[in-house]
Amino acid sequence: MTTAPRPEEPTGAEPPAPRPIGSCHRELGLTLYRLRLERGLSLRALARRLGYSSHSAFADFEKARRMPGEPLLVAYERLFELPHGLLLELRARALAERAARLTAIRESTVLGSTETLGTPTLDTSVRSPAPPAAPPGPSGTGPTGTPDREVTRVNQSRRADPPAPLDRTSRLTGFTRRPRAAGGLAGLGAAVVHFLGRRTGAASGTRSIAKR
């Protein structure tokens, strides 16, 4: 069993973007390929017969890479003496099949993204209350309860200076004042004794006068 030769590769043309190809589109491309082989025409000769200068697009039509337009298919039917509308009907079926495939792919993509996202759930878990805020510290304290540096400096500057130590002269003066105080007390005692002695002497004189 012999296989039909493959169509010639287009030259100087970039392949179009791949699209989902259905059985009707492949059948249309294969039909165009067989019609050309039955007449023994090359792609270049076929393009000239149909009134086109470039033949690269005809290779894409036969390989189902592109969809031929209605005017071109009408020219095919006239060139190969086909019943009117035969290739046009095959083209319409290929377009409908491709649209159905694209719709199915689009729906499956949307469904997959929805399943990935999932349904949002409500968080009903009981959360522990936040700890109470610490009471404000006294004025002049920072957030950790320690005195601020500036306040500490002010308080230190406001503290009373300690008394200066007494010098040697002050100490000696203090010690000399104490004997003076002691001497004063001794003089006061002597005056009291003298006064009492005078009272005693006066009383004795009075008694002696009375006896006489």
Q: Does residue 9 register a pLDDT over 90?
A: no
Where does the pLDDT of residue 126 fall: very low under 50, low under 70, confident under 90, or very high at 90 and above? low
Give a yes or no: residue 207 inside a domain: yes
Instruction: Note whether 108 and 193 are same-domain residues.
Output: no
Give a yes or no: residue 204 inside a domain: yes
Where does the pLDDT of residue 18 fall: very low under 50, low under 70, confident under 90, or very high at 90 and above? very low
Where does the pLDDT of residue 15 fall: very low under 50, low under 70, confident under 90, or very high at 90 and above? very low
**Could you say which of 116, 148, 164 is where a domain stops?**
116
Give a yes or no: residue 160 inside a domain: no
Three-state SS annotation for 145-179: CCECHHHHHHHHHHCCCCCCCCCHHHHHHHHHHHH
Instruction: Note whether 31 and 106 are same-domain residues.
Output: yes
Instruction: Note whether 103 and 35 are same-domain residues.
Output: yes
Give me the pLDDT at residue 110, please: 80
pLDDT in tens, 171-185: 545 444 554 545 555
Give me the pLDDT at residue 158, please: 56
Give a yes or no: residue 78 inside a domain: yes
Give a yes or no: residue 1 inside a domain: no
**Could you say which of 69, 99, 116 is where a domain stops?**
116
Average pLDDT for the chain: 72
Give me the pLDDT at residue 92, please: 96
Q: Which tokens sit at 67?
A: 């969809």
Number of domains in the chain: 2
63: containing domain = 23-116
Q: What is the CATH number of the domain that holds 36?
A: 1.10.260.40
CB contact burial 11-47 (16+ within 10 A = b; e otherwise)? eeeeeeeeeebbebbeebbebbbebbeeeebebbebb
Q: Does residue 90 register a pLDDT over 60?
A: yes
Confidence (pTM): 0.44
pLDDT in tens, 51-66: 999 999 999 999 999 9
pLDDT > 70: what percent of the chain?
Answer: 43
Give a yes or no: residue 42 inside a domain: yes
Give a yes or no: residue 99 inside a domain: yes
> Is 105 or 3 the better-scoring residue by pLDDT?
105
**Could you say which of 96, 116, 136 is where a domain stops?**
116
Q: Does residue 1 register a pLDDT over 60?
A: no
> What is the arithmetic mean of pLDDT over 55-79?
95
Give a yes or no: residue 71 inside a domain: yes
